[in-house]
């Protein structure tokens, strides 16, 4: 069965991942939020940093370059995604740090209405390898991905792809995540 979840192993080098993790750890992180900017640690318990791909940071340059090429490959694998209304990578993205015991606890999709209504695809980069759980579970497909350094996942943002974090009780997990959304006609 086709899941439309595509994993790009080794999309980012160890050095690139370490650079991004150093950026996260040297920044002023804020508690992670869910819809409408609400902090609810029963739903999502993390420390986040919001960035834009258009900024001049090394982190954004690393992510932007590889993300664009992997999305072109995703379009080749799933050409139907080019037959819908035009879409693009959203400029804003999140860097996230999950300490042991923290995670995105509830199942959710990236386009559940409200602020995410324009989202078409989601992407996530595992910035470090977590050996004690720490991956992501895609509920409707009984798929659990492992958090492996440098891997990029791309998947549809819709209700068909509900997912949640697999919390590591002993290790810290670092990710970068963002979306592709429909272009809003002007």
What pTM did the predictor assign? Answer: 0.96
pLDDT tens-digit map of 51-78: 999 998 999 999 999 999 999 999 999 9
pLDDT tens-digit map of 113-140: 888 999 999 999 999 999 999 999 999 9
Residue 105: closest CA among 162, 44, 16: 44
Annotate the chain with three-state secondary structure: CCCCCEEECCCCCHHHHHHHHHHHHCCCCEECCEHHHECCCCCEECEEEEEECCCCCHHHHHHHHHHHHHHHHHHHHCHHHHCCCCEEECCEEEEEEECCCCEECCCECCCCCHHHCCEEEEEEEECCCCCCCCCEEEHHHCEEECCCCCCEEEEECCHHHCEEECCCCCCCEEEEEEEEEECCCC
CA–CA distance, 62 with 100 (Å, rounded to integer): 26
Confidence of residue 186 (pLDDT cuts 50, 70, 90): low
Beta strands 136-138; 163-165: pairing state: antiparallel
Residue 67 near residue 152 (C-beta atoms within 8 A): yes
pLDDT tens-digit map of 145-172: 999 999 999 999 999 999 999 999 999 9
pLDDT tens-digit map of 74-97: 999 999 999 999 999 999 999 999
Confidence of residue 1 (pLDDT cuts 50, 70, 90): confident
């Amino acid at each position: 069965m086709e899941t439309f979840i595509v994993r790009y192993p080794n999309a980012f080098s160890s050095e690139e991942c370490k650079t991004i993790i150093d950026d996260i750890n040297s920044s002023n992180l804020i508690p992670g939020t869910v819809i409408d900017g609400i902090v609810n640690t029963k739903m999502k318990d993390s420390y986040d940093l919001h960035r834009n791909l258009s900024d001049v940071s090394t982190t954004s340059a690393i992510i932007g370059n590889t993300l664009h090429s992997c999305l072109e490959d995703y379009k080749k694998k799933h050409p139907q995604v080019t037959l819908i209304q035009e879409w693009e990578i959203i400029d804003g993205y999140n860097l996230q740090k999950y300490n042991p015991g923290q995670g995105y606890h509830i199942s959710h999709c990236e386009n559940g209405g409200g602020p995410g209504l324009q989202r078409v695809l989601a992407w996530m980069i595992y910035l470090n390898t977590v050996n004690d759980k720490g991956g992501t579970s895609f509920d409707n497909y009984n798929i659990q991905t492992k958090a492996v350094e440098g891997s990029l996942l791309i998947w549809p943002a819709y209700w068909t792809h509900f997912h949640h974090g697999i919390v590591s009780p002993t290790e810290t997990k670092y990710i970068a995540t963002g979306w592709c959304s429909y272009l809003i006609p002007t």
